[in-house]
Chains A and B, each alone.
Chain A
Amino acid sequence: MSQDNNTNTTNTTGHVWDNDLQELDNPLPRWWIWGFYITFVFTIVYWLFYPAWPIGDNYTKGVPGLNSITYTATQPNGEQVEKTTHWNMRSKFMVEMNELQEAQKKWFDKVAAMPFEDVQKDAELMQFVNSVGKTMFTDNCAPCHQQGAQGKIGFSPNLADDHWQYGGTYQNIEETIVAGRNGYMPPFKEVLQDEQITQLANYVLEMSGEPHDAEASKAGAALFRSETAACYYCHGENAQGKIQMGSANLTDKIWLWADIPGSKTDAAKLAEVKRVITGGLNRGVMPAWSGRLSPAQIKLLTVYVHDSLGGGK
């Protein structure tokens, strides 16, 4: 508190206006002025250690070697490269990601070394699968399958229910993630009359227990197994679909392409099914993830989809 003496006297610049108007000139408090000088010192030290001044397209990077940072990056071809650079936020982020991967490695290794069936028997391991799987699902799968894996009718299947077009075993799911899927149904507007399509649609509704015209449905059933429409080629004799080709089971309550749960009236339901038969579909495309995720990540994601979501049936 040594500056206190200064506040007891009045220092002025010596200029006087209108006889009594003066300009005070008290010195700044010493603690303040020293704090100010320290910021200068701090700034210079900062320039030595961190990126600071922009110069054209470039910038100063601090004294080389004084504050460098090393991280491991994965190249697009999967090669691990060690990089050393001046300190910057992006590299710091990479270092933290490296640390995170290192911390998770023992769990990933454990999952990778185990048969699928054993992972779900280990409650602690499943806890890891749940949390990491959820993050991976959110990053990679949720854009199509939605955040809660509930899918979207007319776009992507629900992964939380018990129906699996391409099979719900570990191996099926892993294959789906690795290689992707390509769902297709030809349009029937050139092949069938509108009346025939109505009959087929009624049959499809009947199989799922929806309101329908019994007579038209009967005709539809015959048409289903005829060579004219040849629906049974893909959907099977009993219309329960074929896992090998991913054709839909038409006898259950789950709808993927025709929005029956969202249709209020019977006519609207019929129109929805007719729309699918008429136009076919070629949007059932799921990309392959083999190049984007590591085998260990795919295995963990498989367990997550199978056990945390709705697989296994």
Chain B
Amino acid sequence: MPQTGAAKPSSLLHKQIPIVTRSVKGKFRNFKTAVMVVAYSIYFLLPWMPWQRNSAADQAVMFDLESRRFFIFDLIVYPQDIFWLAMLLFIAAALLFFTTGLIGRAWCGYFCFQTLWSDLFIFIERMIQGERPARLRLMKQPLGAEKILKIGGSHALMILVSLWTAVTFAAYFSYAPDFVIALFTGHAVEAAYITVGVLTLTTYFAAGVIREHVCTLACPYARFQGVMYEADTLAVSYDSKRGEGLKGRTLPIIGLKTRDERQEKGHGDCIDCGFCVQVCPTGIDIRDGLQYQCISCGLCIDACNNIMDSVGYPRGLIRYDSEKNLSSDQPKPARLEWKRVKVIGYATALLIAAGILLYNIGTRNDTDVSVQQVRQPLFIMLSDGSYRNRYQVHIVNKTELDARYQLSVRGIPASSLDLGSLKEVRVRAGKSLIMNAKVDLERTIAQQTEKFEFVVTSSNPDTAPVVVPANFNSQR
């Protein structure tokens, strides 16, 4: 069979060598562990925090979809406050841009859930299967009791953690103690089982099976964060000038052990131990320069510093530094360069958005009123020639107590408002009510009236009256 130019294997389809990371000690590892402990404590414990409430379950943070209210400590968020979500998303985006512009992909390396859960699952693997060499040995081993037990055991534990992650997530949406009991006794709603099932599978799959592929192949943030890098941005970098010297890196063989010997022969400080590659959770070699796969977790810095300490060279062959500083003739100690238009711009946007959100949350009225005019027909002529307009008044009680509301008008005679026999309406805590209002105006007044106001007064003395403008239509 004649062979034509054999198809070049696609790098996308090329079989990946599984990444088995070595553990490392150092300040970045400690920081990552600290973030993990804090983040997990918040995530897993928050649904269990009690909080005194009048109109709902005593749970500090509960996203109650059934009553369409989100309880966040003393703040109750209603569907009408959807604007807050938009602001929150904008703030999150601005914060991401700001930090990335300043110190690179800090989000990816230390805070992202993918990183946190992968880190935890790698920790589980290390606890059960041992350090990197032991895990590699286990992988090559033929199938046997030890392999099944260790690998199966670690995956079983991962699935358990995934399950509890999913249960915790679902617990945010209903009263946690009741929910967990109902879930495991088969009494929870269908949606709960679907949520828990899907989240267990996706958590296990993303953090336990495909891991770094989420960052390199699936995550859009990973890709577009590269756009926010500038020459001044601090990034995890290998000092290639120092590491390679004139003739490149080399092993510390006899005659090349001390720095002086190496510099004399033109070799750099990198002793090519490969430790930085072994600890990398995405399996890259930082010495090849900045790469899109780098999640900026700093573990290679810890690894290299440990090696530098052991061979007695100065630390910082791999460090947080800017591209500009690294390529300059006289590199200075790395420092945060924040006086840049982009960084200051992001910071300003962040402050403005946060200010608007906080102001809006702080000044929200406990009574939300919207008035919708019945537009079909816009106005009705009555038998005595006067005009009638009809309105639907939507009152939302955002407090935790039932309240009574009175509706009145301002700018037109009080007697023109017809509410049937509803002098006062009761709106339950956290609920809303739509009531009909008819406004009849005499012909001459009607023709002069274009605008007036509805005033809704609450029986709760702490709640300010709400004034809503309305239009009056008539044949002019």
Contact residues of A with B, CB < 8 Å? 1, 4-5, 7-10, 12, 14, 16, 20, 22, 120-121, 123-124, 126-127, 130, 146-148, 150, 158, 160-163, 209, 249, 252-254, 261, 307-308, 310, 312
Contact A254 to B377, CB < 8 A, known contacts A120-B421, A160-B388, A307-B436 = no
Residues of the A chain whose Cβ atoms lie less than 8 Å from the Cβ of B6? 8-10
The 8 Å CB contact of A253, one of B15, B377, B383, is B383
A59–B421 CA distance with the chains assembled, in angstroms: 58
Residues of the B chain whose Cβ atoms lie less than 8 Å from the Cβ of A158? 380
A12–B14 CA distance with the chains assembled, in angstroms: 21
Known: A1-B15, A7-B13. 14 other contacts (CB 8 A): A4-B9, A4-B14, A5-B15, A7-B7, A10-B3, A20-B4, A121-B421, A126-B420, A148-B375, A160-B390, A162-B382, A163-B383, A253-B384, A310-B380
Contact pattern, B 79-101, Cβ under 8 Å of A = 1, otherwise 0: 00000000000000000000000
B426 on the interface (CB 8 Å rule)? yes
Q: What is the CB-to-nearest-CB distance from A17 to chain B, in angstroms, rounded to a whole number?
A: 12
**B1→A162 contact, CB < 8 A:** no
**B421→A148 contact, CB < 8 A:** no
Q: What is the CB-to-nearest-CB distance from B420 to chain A, in angstroms, rounded to a whole number?
A: 5
Instruction: List 6 A-B residue pairs with CB atoms under 8 Å apart, sorted by A's residue number.
Output: A8-B7, A127-B433, A150-B377, A160-B390, A163-B382, A312-B420
A297–B392 CA distance with the chains assembled, in angstroms: 23
**B15→A123 contact, CB < 8 A:** no
Contact A161 to B380, CB < 8 A, known contacts A14-B1, A120-B420, A310-B388 = yes
Within 8 A of A (CB), among B1-53: 1-4, 6-7, 9-10, 13-16
Q: What is the CB-to-nearest-CB distance from A300 to chain B, in angstroms, rounded to a whole number?
A: 15
Within 8 A of A (CB), among B366-403: 374-377, 380-385, 388, 390, 392
**A126→B381 contact, CB < 8 A:** no
Residues of the A chain whose Cβ atoms lie less than 8 Å from the Cβ of B7? 7-8, 10
Contact A126 to B436, CB < 8 A, known contacts A12-B1, A147-B376 = yes
**B10→A7 contact, CB < 8 A:** yes
The 8 closest A-B pairs by CB, nearest first: A148-B376, A252-B383, A150-B377, A123-B425, A253-B385, A163-B383, A8-B9, A4-B13
Residues of the A chain whose Cβ atoms lie less than 8 Å from the Cβ of B385? 209, 253
Residues of the A chain whose Cβ atoms lie less than 8 Å from the Cβ of B435? 123, 126-127
Residues of the B chain whose Cβ atoms lie less than 8 Å from the Cβ of A150? 376-377, 380
Residues of the B chain whose Cβ atoms lie less than 8 Å from the Cβ of A147? 376
A121–B426 CA distance with the chains assembled, in angstroms: 11
Within 8 A of A (CB), among B388-436: 388, 390, 392, 420-422, 425-426, 433-436
**A160→B383 contact, CB < 8 A:** no
Which residue of chain A has the shortest Cβ distance to B443 in the bound complex? A253
Which residue of chain B has the shortest Cβ distance to A150 in the bound complex? B377
A310–B390 CA distance with the chains assembled, in angstroms: 10
Q: What is the CB-to-nearest-CB distance from A8 to chain B, in angstroms, rounded to a whole number?
A: 5
Contact A249 to B383, CB < 8 A, known contacts A130-B434, A308-B436 = yes
Residues of the A chain whose Cβ atoms lie less than 8 Å from the Cβ of B3? 10
Residues of the B chain whose Cβ atoms lie less than 8 Å from the Cβ of A209? 385
Q: What is the CB-to-nearest-CB distance from A296 to chain B, in angstroms, rounded to a whole number?
A: 21
Residues of the B chain whose Cβ atoms lie less than 8 Å from the Cβ of A22? 2, 4
**A7→B377 contact, CB < 8 A:** no
Q: What is the CB-to-nearest-CB distance from A225 to chain B, in angstroms, rounded to a whole number?
A: 22
Residues of the B chain whose Cβ atoms lie less than 8 Å from the Cβ of A4? 9, 13-15
**B382→A161 contact, CB < 8 A:** yes
Residues of the B chain whose Cβ atoms lie less than 8 Å from the Cβ of A120? 420-422
Residues of the B chain whose Cβ atoms lie less than 8 Å from the Cβ of A310? 380, 388, 438
**A161→B383 contact, CB < 8 A:** yes
Q: What is the CB-to-nearest-CB distance from A226 to chain B, in angstroms, rounded to a whole number?
A: 27
The 8 Å CB contact of A7, one of B9, B374, B384, is B9
Q: What is the CB-to-nearest-CB distance from B46 to chain A, in angstroms, rounded to a whole number?
A: 35
**A123→B9 contact, CB < 8 A:** no
Q: What is the CB-to-nearest-CB distance from A12 to chain B, in angstroms, rounded to a whole number?
A: 7
Residues of the A chain whose Cβ atoms lie less than 8 Å from the Cβ of B377? 148, 150, 160
Contact A253 to B382, CB < 8 A, known contacts A14-B1, A20-B4, A22-B4 = yes
The 8 Å CB contact of A161, one of B388, B426, B433, is B388
Q: What is the CB-to-nearest-CB distance from A72 to chain B, in angstroms, rounded to a whole number?
A: 24
Which residue of chain A has the shortest Cβ distance to B418 in the bound complex? A312
Residues of the B chain whose Cβ atoms lie less than 8 Å from the Cβ of A1? 13, 15-16
Contact A261 to B9, CB < 8 A, known contacts A4-B15, A160-B390 = no
A162–B440 CA distance with the chains assembled, in angstroms: 10
A161–B438 CA distance with the chains assembled, in angstroms: 11
A126–B419 CA distance with the chains assembled, in angstroms: 12
Residues of the B chain whose Cβ atoms lie less than 8 Å from the Cβ of A163? 382-383
